[in-house]
Amino acid sequence: MRSPTKKIEDFCRTGSGGTPSRSKSEYFEAGTIPWVKSGELKARFVTNTEEAITDAAVKNSSVKLVPRGSLLIAMYGATVGEVSELAMDAATNQAICHIVPDPNVCDRGYLFQYLSSIKSELLDKRVGGGQPNISQAIIKSLEVPLPALSEQRRIAAILDKADALRAKRREAIAKLDQLLQSVFLEMFGDPVTNPKGWPQVRFSELLESIDSGTSPVCLDRSAGDNEWAVLKLSAVTRCEYDPSANKALPEGVEPDKSLEVKVGDLLFTRKNTRDLVAACAFVTDTPPRLLLPDLIFRFRLKPLAPVVPRYLQALLAFPGKRKDIQSLAGGSAGSMPNISKAKLSNALIELPPTDLQCEFDRRLKHCDLLREQQRLALAKLDKTFFSLQQQAFAGQL
């Protein structure tokens, strides 16, 4: 049985924040008030922030204090549609809408789960050109099913338990990633300081070419069976290849088959935001008919180059080394940083003995198997969780 619904504006207080002037040091120096940016909405709880602001910033700018327990929704930016809960009193930037539900009408945990369940619907409501956004008006007008409070708490408890199982799987995958980084450090040392004194060569000495893709106007959906598609930037953003991040090529547009992504390719994001540019991913597996976009390079190594592709990917993705590569990015104010082929070709690459690189590659493949097992288990948990969500908010749980 479906529950009665209410608009968020009818039982919640909402608002957005602001960004204090960067030109006024007294707004940031020795700040003690956590200041949440939309990019920090990545987990269930926001427990800390990269920056803090001062009382003066709150008094003299559009920033507002938001109480602990408030729900936060990213209205635009890389995390648009993400929902988190504040674990402390804080302030937010203008890209975040905060929501404070009336505890006599709606359980906070229930509302979090509901808002998380409709992320795709929220994204469909985005408006605007270059950076589509979810407005505060859209959020305030959302209709939320509201059964009795006791039922809300029961639903929230069930979904929280299921979500906790998913979190444990994600944690296991993250630990495997940390293990790989530790293995890299143990075998090769920090590439920034190069404590083992490995010889360095210009990247150009290892490269046969750097391929550039193209980005024709595509359909606003992923490719179906037997369709050609162009990869999205997010296919490489996390330094892992994600072939599901693609857009279908319209019928009648002839694909450039020389740009089809193949197993063994090394892909590199040449352009993105300052903290996301220079992501590098190795293609271990891929469906056919996926094409390289213009914002992603493909490295073609010389046949006899003394470098193992998986070692090179791990080197370029290593945090300190990646930061060095990111520093090569240029661009005008207001545009996304871009790394040119010329600057990239001149970057220095550390070259340990190839037998050591091969040993690292063998260890990577073992971790790949373990990680794939964890991912398959997570996929099953995700399927169960999403099914529970659908049942819960349809009154069938």
> What is the residue type of 281?
A
Same domain (yes/no): 204, 347? yes
Same domain (yes/no): 342, 214? yes
Q: State which residues form the domain around 318.
A: 199-351
Same domain (yes/no): 204, 345? yes
pTM: 0.70
Domain assignment present for residue 23? The answer is yes
Domain assignment present for residue 234? The answer is yes
Same domain (yes/no): 89, 212? no
pLDDT tens series, the chain, 397 aa: 678 999 999 999 999 999 999 999 999 999 999 999 998 998 999 999 999 999 999 999 889 899 999 999 999 887 899 999 999 999 999 999 999 999 999 999 999 999 999 998 888 888 876 677 899 999 999 999 999 999 999 999 999 999 999 999 999 988 988 888 899 999 999 999 999 999 999 999 999 999 999 999 999 899 998 999 999 999 999 899 999 999 999 988 999 999 999 999 999 999 998 889 999 999 999 999 999 999 999 999 999 999 999 999 999 999 999 999 999 998 765 578 999 999 999 999 999 999 999 999 999 999 888 988 998 999 999 999 999 999 989 888 8
Q: Which residues contact 332 (CB under 8 A, 6 or more apart)?
A: none
Domain assignment present for residue 169? The answer is no
Q: For strand 83-86 and strand 45-46, is the pairing parallel, antiparallel, or unpaired?
A: parallel
DSSP 338: B
Mark which of 104, 120, 146 sits at the end of a domain.
Answer: 146
Domain assignment present for residue 173? The answer is no
Same domain (yes/no): 246, 109? no
Alpha-carbon separation of residue 70 from 101, 118, 144, 397 (angstroms): 8, 18, 17, 26
Q: Taking every pair of C-alpha atoms in the chain, what is the biggest distance, in angstroms?
A: 70
**Sheet of 290-291: strands edge to edge?**
246-248, 229-231, 290-291
Mark which of 114, 146, 178 sits at the end of a domain.
Answer: 146
Radius of gyration of the chain (CA): 24
- Total structural domains within the chain: 2
Q: Which contiguous run of DSSP H or E holds residue 52?
A: strand 51-53
Q: Domain of 46: which CATH number?
A: 3.90.220.20
Which tokens sit at 78? Answer: 């890389």
Same domain (yes/no): 217, 94? no
CA–CA–CA angle 366, 369, 370 (5° rounding): 90
Mark which of 332, 351, 370 sits at the end of a domain.
Answer: 351
Same domain (yes/no): 136, 209? no
Domain assignment present for residue 184? The answer is no
Domain assignment present for residue 230? The answer is yes
Same domain (yes/no): 137, 216? no
Domain assignment present for residue 176? The answer is no
DSSP 127: B
Same domain (yes/no): 14, 110? yes
Domain assignment present for residue 49? The answer is yes
Same domain (yes/no): 215, 277? yes
Same domain (yes/no): 215, 137? no
Same domain (yes/no): 33, 122? yes
